Chain A
Amino acid sequence: MKLIEKHLKGLSWLSLVLILAVTALLLIQIRQNTRMETNLDEYMPKTHPAFVYSDQAEEWFNIKDGILIAIENPQGIYNQQTLLKIREISEGLMQMDEFEEIDIQSLYTADNITGSDDGLEVEAFYGAVPGHPDEIEALRHKVRENDMIAGRLVSADETVALVVAGMNSSHFTEDLYHDLLEFAHSFASETENIYVAGRPIVEGTMGHLGPADMKRMVPIVLAVIALVLYLLLRSVRAAASVMLTVFVSTVWAFGLMAIIDVPVYAVSTMIPVMLIAIGVAYGIYFFQYLSNFNHDTPEVKLIDALKKVTIKLSKPLFMAAFTTIIGFISLLTSQVLPIKYFGLFTAFGIFVTFVLALWLLPAMVIIWGCRVRSTKTERRSAPFWNASKITHRLLNYKKSIYITVAIIAIFSVLGLTQVWINSSFLANFENESDIVLTDRFVNSKFGGTSTLNVILESGESDMFKNPAALRLMDEMQLAAEELPVVGNSFSLSDYLKRMNKVMNADKNEFYTIPETSDMVAQYLLLYEMSGDPENLLKVINYDYNRTNITFQLKGDDSKTINQALSVIRQFEEPFRDMGVSVNYAGSGYKALVFTDLILDGQVRSILMSLLLVLVLLTIMFRSLRAGLIGSVPILLTALISFGVMGLFDIPLSTTTALLSSIAIGIGIDYAIHFLQHYRMNLSTEVSRLEAVKKTMAQTGKAISFNAIVVIAGFLVLLFSVFPPNRTLGALVSMNMFTSFAGTLTLMMVLVYRFRVFAGKQGSPEIQENK
């Protein structure tokens, strides 16, 4: 016996060293191989038809996201200095490797199509910066006359000019982001303000603000969790051991990611959140079991106690871990790659946490000893938890509990119907932040900072030389532009109307689609010969049977895009009658489809998880009743989570959607521990009431400790400067609370009321008035 004990100590050290060594190796791997994936295109399923089409269309028409540099001069832009700056900004961007000349649009690079009685000219608005007031006035006049420029590159009030640099968001890097901001702001002066907006900028800012904020907040979160853990467990060693398992499991999960070369996605930040919640729970169970065991049988030696506790704990822990892992594995059905990976690596992390709880924690106790033995200390540590009294209260007020839960559920269902998904990136920023203000400013002066591309296609070549098709296109544009959210639009029809007008002595009545297809063809040829034919390729293909219409929108959120789409979709049918199909493209549209996929996938995965949990609980406890009642806290947590999001207008996003998985993971845990204990206690205690009281004393305490620790930790995120992280903190805390409250109130009452495990043995009923 002594020999084994001696060995046990050695084995424990060996285990610790081994685990730490593996952890260290993985840390090195993480250092060397981990890469962040900030390119949102990588998040989207490559094979989904909408994405395949959009990517294709982007290539066809050189559709890119625009970085918008706005130069504002409250005195007006028509002066030598500002005009020179517009030129310098345009030329400076052209010099950058990331941009091609054709992708830079500004007053300086734009073509001015003008006409006179006997001629047509396509020329630059200016080359050398005009100095003479008359020349400047002439330039102002030229811009005012040209609808293709006025209001698009120069604001209607003539105080702001825009330089648009098209680029693929996928080429956007943090370095470029900083270079661009520095470059743009170097043009600011006392008379001129510079604003930088556009989707790549928003994505770029988000890409670095979110993780940077997390880096700041996570240590504080961990510190608070460690502190609260210590306060509850009253042992530095126990708290430190639990924190070690959390740390090790997180490192292993990310280490595995680094080894098999999976990048870290934005949603991957949810993995540690999950592992903290689960790791803390397992650790608390372990030390609670140990302390209870010591309390009941103080004479048993530590080693034996550890053995007993480990064996006793292994079953509920295995069941809890197994169900949670299955729940996360179910995320592999998602079409969204980062969510698949999130499921996979969280599952792995939970497995590690489970193993560590039964291996590392006992080893740490052997090495370090254990102080959470004294029953007196334990009593003092949790004076609030008088299980017996609380149980009585709850059982007495079960009607109130039912009613309260029913009311909450009704509100949640109401909220649920309000849940919306937001594909907006801008929504992630503070209302008064620079990026939002800039966006609002540019939107107020120009067509819009966001774009939606509508692609028309026909099997018949030369379809878009046909005036009927062009007129319908024009009608669609005008109808959409009626919406306040649609600033303007741009297509082949704008070129043709402009050409028709200037070729007819600049008469406004000719600002229409030309009468015949020959005329259209000849105008296009004329433009190619005198203008920049590459510009035409952004709107029409070689066979004239595929065309691109760009709508500029005032916002990048789903509501705005859907509003525009609802008008545009009314034209799908008349176009179909002509043999023209209507499709959509661009990053805004992709984001919209993407969020739909997330919601769809999330709803499916939650329903699947619920079903799985029900089946697993039923099998584990060999009781459908246990399965049904055990699923209640999870259902309640998920319902309230979504309900609150709906009621408080928190849109679903990739991260908030995943919170429901955490709710399920934690919910299962609580339910299984409670049910497992209750079943054991039923066999040892004299009545169901005593059994439920004892369960409340043991498991209830562990559950409440767990909830308190995690809630305290995540409430820290409320002080984050990045709004999505604040939402995350609030929702995780809320989910923990609902799981905890749901298990210990409603589920407990239901377990008692519906005689789970008790069958028809007829244990004595609780006396209502006791």
Chain B
Amino acid sequence: MKTKVKISGMFAIVLMMAFAPADAQMTGQQIMEKVYNNPSGDDMQGELVMTLVNSRGEQRVRNLKQFMKNDGKSEKKIMFFMAPADVRNTSFMNWSYADGRDDDQWIYLPALKRTKRISSDGKSDYFMGSDFTYDDLGDRHPDEDNHKLLREETIGGEACYVVESTPKSGGYMYSKTITWVMKESYLGLKREFYDQKGNLLKTLSIKKFEKISGIWTILETEMHNVQKSHKTLMNFSDVRYNKGIPDSQFTERSMTLGI
């Protein structure tokens, strides 16, 4: 079975915290573990503008408001569409489980006035027509790959480790990824994804990041599929952590209430 939908994973990239000072002797494995272990808060809420740009420069823009909570055993997330108008108050909820069970997903369509469970089999795994697959958004465990520190390099004024990660077993859609990890924050600044034929498929770059409530938070990111000349921009705003969002926020009933 493929890695299931992990909307929560979006925040694995988004929320990563500075951890330790640079250590020249670190291995690729250690670097990636530090990246993985960046804490992300107990709960989080914020707004997201997702813009898809195709090769002709046409755009599809969606505004969402999202809430997320992680209690260690499961990660619950709910998103409400705010725009465009014809999908306003459509909501999407995802529960993913630490024990490896398949995620549960629901969608509420206001025009139908009904909540539906949905499932996707992971084969068709692009998130909402974006260039992010659910895999990209997920927090892939460092033990699933072999990591190799290729070199150290400064890009955009940031000193980075350049780590190549190759999957240990088949079933991953990329043949390898190369990540530029900032020495200061252990935040990935850039990542290249290579397809099964070994060609560069996509480049993820972080355009803007900030420390919010002590947590390194990515605010603007761009995924560029170089083979299709398609881009997805995600802009986060109004990000708040640890506001004590109640469990009742993540129910089928609250999905129907809208924003």
On whether the beta carbons of A516 and B124 are closer than 8 Å, the reply is no
A682–B111 Cα distance when bound, in Å, is: 96
On whether the beta carbons of B124 and A531 are closer than 8 Å, the reply is yes
- Please, what's the 1-or-0 string for A98-138, where 1 marks a CB less than 8 Å from any CB in chain B? 00000000000001000000111111100100000000000
On whether the beta carbons of B110 and A530 are closer than 8 Å, the reply is no
- Is A156 part of the binding interface, using a Cβ–Cβ cutoff of 8 Å? no
Given A118-B116, A530-B119, A542 contacting B90 (CB threshold 8 A):
no
What is the total number of residues of chain B having a CB less than 8 Å from a CB of chain A?
A: 32
A43-73 with Cβ < 8 A to chain B: 60
On whether the beta carbons of A526 and B118 are closer than 8 Å, the reply is yes
A125–B237 Cα distance when bound, in Å, is: 40
CB distance from A184 to the nearest CB of B (A): 22
A526 — which chain B residues lie within 8 A by C-beta? Answer: 107, 109, 116, 118
On whether the beta carbons of A533 and B128 are closer than 8 Å, the reply is yes
Neighbour of B87 across the interface among A60, A122, A522, A542, CB < 8 A = A522
CB distance from A166 to the nearest CB of B (A): 15
Point out which of B114, B120, B128 has the most chain A C-beta atoms below 10 A from its C-beta: B120
- Please, what's the 1-or-0 string for A425-469, where 1 marks a CB less than 8 Å from any CB in chain B? 000000000000000000000000000000000000010010000
- Is B129 part of the binding interface, using a Cβ–Cβ cutoff of 8 Å? yes
On whether the beta carbons of B58 and A541 are closer than 8 Å, the reply is yes
- Is A503 part of the binding interface, using a Cβ–Cβ cutoff of 8 Å? yes
On whether the beta carbons of A120 and B129 are closer than 8 Å, the reply is no
On whether the beta carbons of B126 and A522 are closer than 8 Å, the reply is no
- Please, what's the 1-or-0 string for B123-145, where 1 marks a CB less than 8 Å from any CB in chain A? 11011110000000000000000
A95–B81 Cα distance when bound, in Å, is: 38
On whether the beta carbons of B117 and A118 are closer than 8 Å, the reply is yes
B36-91 with Cβ < 8 A to chain A: 52, 54, 56, 58-60, 81, 84, 86-87, 90
A123 — which chain B residues lie within 8 A by C-beta? Answer: 119-121, 123
Q: Chain B residue with minimal CB distance to A56?
A: B56
On whether the beta carbons of A542 and B58 are closer than 8 Å, the reply is yes
A520 — which chain B residues lie within 8 A by C-beta? Answer: 86
CB distance from B249 to the nearest CB of A (A): 20
CB distance from A531 to the nearest CB of B (A): 6
A542 — which chain B residues lie within 8 A by C-beta? Answer: 52, 54, 58-60
On whether the beta carbons of B124 and A111 are closer than 8 Å, the reply is yes
CB distance from A121 to the nearest CB of B (A): 5
- Is A573 part of the binding interface, using a Cβ–Cβ cutoff of 8 Å? no
On whether the beta carbons of A534 and B126 are closer than 8 Å, the reply is yes
On whether the beta carbons of A122 and B58 are closer than 8 Å, the reply is no
CB distance from A129 to the nearest CB of B (A): 15
A111 — which chain B residues lie within 8 A by C-beta? Answer: 124
Given A462-B86, A525-B81, A531 contacting B128 (CB threshold 8 A):
no
CB distance from B95 to the nearest CB of A (A): 15
On whether the beta carbons of B92 and A529 are closer than 8 Å, the reply is yes
- Is A543 part of the binding interface, using a Cβ–Cβ cutoff of 8 Å? yes
Neighbour of B110 across the interface among A121, A462, A522, CB < 8 A = A522
A536–B128 Cα distance when bound, in Å, is: 12
B52 — which chain A residues lie within 8 A by C-beta? Answer: 542
A518–B111 Cα distance when bound, in Å, is: 6
B111 — which chain A residues lie within 8 A by C-beta? Answer: 514, 516, 518-519, 521-522
- Is A213 part of the binding interface, using a Cβ–Cβ cutoff of 8 Å? no
- Please, what's the 1-or-0 string for B173-195, where 1 marks a CB less than 8 Å from any CB in chain A? 00000000000000000000000
A235-280 with Cβ < 8 A to chain B: none
On whether the beta carbons of B126 and A530 are closer than 8 Å, the reply is no
- Is A528 part of the binding interface, using a Cβ–Cβ cutoff of 8 Å? yes
- Is A179 part of the binding interface, using a Cβ–Cβ cutoff of 8 Å? no
A503-554 with Cβ < 8 A to chain B: 503, 514, 516-523, 525-526, 528-534, 536, 541-543
B110 — which chain A residues lie within 8 A by C-beta? Answer: 518, 522
Q: List 8 A-B contacts (CB under 8 A).
A: A60-B56, A119-B117, A503-B109, A514-B111, A519-B109, A522-B87, A525-B128, A534-B129
- Interface positions of A (Cβ within 8 A of B): 60, 97, 111, 118-124, 127, 462, 465, 503, 514, 516-523, 525-526, 528-534, 536, 541-543
- Interface positions of B (Cβ within 8 A of A): 52, 54, 56, 58-60, 81, 84, 86-87, 90, 92, 107, 109-112, 114-121, 123-124, 126-129, 197
